[in-house]
Amino acid sequence: MPRTTSGPTTHARHKKVINAAKGYYGRRKNTFKVARQAVDKANQYATRDRKTRKRNFRALWIQRINAAVRMNDETMTYSRFINGLSLAGIEVDRKVLADLAVNEPDAFNTIVDQAKAALAA
């Protein structure tokens, strides 16, 4: 019975890393040792930046909502608007509010009026 070698397994593992490094510059795309380091670092960045992307989008939505609220009523701030929404019992997330502010200003102004009324009451 012939002995089995680990050659095919090792080759497949190396090929997987080299394919992941496709498009990289220099030896990072075709030398296993360097490619593995580059792919590992790229995966670290990808994992970290998935959280960062969520953070950045939330900040963008808040800026858009704040700008739209101030255009509607100059005395109203983002903080008071969110407080008014909670008092009025309106549960709409920031992503939807920002989308309304940009694409449906009339509907957004209605929500702002409801928040303002809840603050006054």
For the domain with range 13-120, which CATH number is right: 3.30.70.600, 1.10.1240.10, 3.40.50.800, 1.10.1900.20?
1.10.1900.20
- The phi and psi torsions of 4 (rounded to 5 degrees) equal -95, 145
What's the pLDDT at 55? 96
pLDDT of residue 121: 79
In the chain, where the domains are located: 13-120
pLDDT value for 89? 94
Tell me which long-range contacts 112-115 makes (C-beta under 8 A, separation of at least 24). Answer: 112/68, 112/69, 112/72, 112/73, 112/76, 112/81, 114/84, 114/88, 114/90, 115/76, 115/81, 115/83, 115/84, 115/85, 115/87, 115/88, 115/90
